[in-house]
Structure 1
C-alpha cells in the first residue's frame, strides 16, 4: 500500500492486530510518513467509531504472530512497566513491534522532527484541554494562597504557652479569635495592632492589683508579676532583711493580694547611759527596745510613743521614771442666787441664806525622770462636798421721798463723821455698821432687814431720819452736832 499524503484527507483503515498501547505510541511519536500495513498509525482512522475485537476470536482476523511463550513454553521474568502504559494493557512483544528497516528509519527521522517543533494537536483537543488547565491553575493558586495565609503562632497567656494556627493578620485579631480579653493594666507584646507572621510569639501578661504597705505607707499598685518576689523586684522594693506578710514564692492571682513590707532599718536605743544600735524590721518602738535587750519597769517609758513605727536612723531614749502621788484639797466656790423682795426698799440687798463652799480633792503625780524632778501632773479629781448657794433678797419697794422734820438736816456731814461716808463700813467690834453706824437691833426696829451695811445708802439715810424723829441726835453722841452744822 502506498504511503498516504500527510496533507491530504485520511481514510479510516481496519484495525488488524494492533493493541491500545501500540496505537498510543503511534499517536505519541507522530508517525506521519511510511507505515507498515500491519500496524497502521492512529491518525489513519476514527478511533471513536472503529470496532475493537478481542485477541483470539476465530475468523476475526488473520493471526500472523504467535507469542514465543506458546512455542517454547519457557517462563520469562515479567517486563518492566513502561511509561504511559495502563494497568491491564498488553505489552507487545519485540517481533510485533518490528517492521521493515526503511520504515524504522523513517519513524526515527519523524520523531526527531517532532522534537524539533511543538506538538500539534487537533483543534477539538485544544478546546477540551484549555478549561481543564484553567481549573487546575485556579485550584493551585487558591491552595497556595490558603497555605500562605495560615500562620503557626506561639501564644503565651499569663505564663501558659501553646502553639496554634491562625489566619489573623495582627495581634488584636488573634486575641479576639482566642477570646483573650486585655485591660488597661495588662501587657501585650508585640503591642495590639502589630502585624504577625508565622513563627512569632505573642505574650500576654495580666495585671494584678497589689495593696502594698511599705514601712507604714499604704498605696495600691498594679503589677504583671506572677509571684511576690517578682513583684518586689518590679517595684524596686529592697527586700533584703525585710519582713513580708506573704511568702516570696506565693503566686499572685488575678484578684491580687494585700502585702505588708517592713524594710530593715537602723535604730539606736539610749538607755541607762548606754547606746545600742540594732538592725530591725520591727513594727513598733516597743519591739525595737526589746530587741536591744532593754527592759522597762514600772512607769518606765520611751521618748516616742511605744506603739509608733520606728524610722531608719531614729534614736529612741528610754526614760526611767520614779515617782509618787500627792493629794490636795481645794475649796469649791459657792454661787449667789438673788431673789426679789417687795418688803425692802429699792437698792437694798439682804443675805437670806449664807452660802457654803464645797470641797474638792485633787491627786497629783510627782515624777522623777532620769534623776530630774518633773512638774507635778494632774492625775485625778474627786468632789468631797458640793457647794451650797447663797440666797440674797433684793428690795423692790419704792423709797420714801421725805421724812418730815429731818429732811433739812446735814446727813452727809453726819455720815462723814461716823463712817467716813462709806455705806458698808463696820466698826472693829462688828456691832455697828453702815453710813451712820447703826446697831443691827436698832436697824431692824426701824423696819430694816439684815444688817444696815448691806442696805443701800438711800435706805440707810431714810431709816436714820426715822431714828432722829424718834430720839433726836442722841444715837450719835459724838457726831450728832454735825446735823445742824
Structure 2
C-alpha cells in the first residue's frame, strides 16, 4: 500500500514539472514574437517615409515615379537618364527631392535647319517644331515649314526647311508686280507674280538665287527674229564731157535706175528696242542700171529770158543757172513728185536762190552751209550745178528723211 502511494507521488511530480517547462517555453516564444512584430512595424514606417512620389516630364512625356533619392540628380540617375550639359533640367540636378514635386527635362536636339536657302546648324531644347522656331526667333506665321508646327522633335534631331514670307517686286512687260509670299527663290517669286518666261527672256537675278525682303527682280523680254528687208542698190552715174553742150550744162544721155536687193538680218529685240542686227545673207532682186550724164564744155551761151524766174520762197531774182527751169523740173521727175513740190516751194526752181530773210539758206533745196557740207558739198550750194545740188539733197533725204523740208 505504501509502495503504491510512492509511485503515485513520483508520477504527479513528473507531470507537474513537464507542465512548468511548457509554460516557460511559451513565454519565451511570445516575447520573441513581440520583438519581431515591433521591428516590422518600425521598418515599414521608415520605408514609407523614404520612398517619395515625384512627377517627371521628359521631352513632353509625363509619368509619376517613386524614389529613395535625395536630389533631382539621384532621380534622373535612377531612371537611367544621362544628362548633357545642353539639356534643360528644372529644377537643377542638385535640388532636394520633395513629395509630389515636378521635374521637367527637355533634352537638347540638333537641327539641320535651312532658312530661305541658307543652311544653319542649330540646336534646341524645344519639344515641337513650332516651339523650336520660336526658341530660335524665326517667325512661323505665313512661312512655309517642311514639317507641321505641332510635330514632336525626335531625340536625335530633325531636318527642317523654312521659307519666310517676304515682299518682292517683279518688273515685267512694263508693269510692276508686287509679291508678298513665302518665296524661297527668284523662280518662286516669278511664279507668285504670275510672270511666265520665254526661252530667250533675261532675268536680272539667277532663277535659283534666294530672294530677300524688298528685292526688285527685272524681267527683260527678248525676241530673236529673222527679218528680210528690201534695200536700194544705188545706181552708178557716169559723167561724160561733151562740146555739144554749153559749159556747166548737163544732159542725161542714158537714164539709169536704182537696183534692189533682199537682205536677211538676224535681229535681237529687248523690251521693244533693237539691240543687235547681224546680216545673215543677201541677194540681188533687180540689178541697177548705170546712168550716163553729158557735161558741156562749150562756151556758155547767153541765158534765155524765159529761163529766168525769181524765187518767191527764197527772195532772190537769180536765174536757174546752167539748166533751164524745164530741165530742172524734168530732173526732179516732173510735176506730182515730192522733189518737184519741195523745190517749187523752197526756191521756185532757182539753183542760185538765197533766202533774203536770214541769208542762211541757199540753192534749189535751201541748204544751210553746215548741212550742205555734212553731205559732201563744198563751197556754197549756189555755186554748184543743179545736178550736184540734187545729188546732195538725195543724200540728206536718205540719211535724215523728208522732215528736212517743211514743204515735203
Q: TM-score, normalised by structure 2?
A: 0.46
* Higher strand proportion (structure 1 or 2): 2
Which protein has the larger Cα radius of gyration, Structure 1 or Structure 2? 1
TM-score w.r.t. the length of structure 1 is 0.39
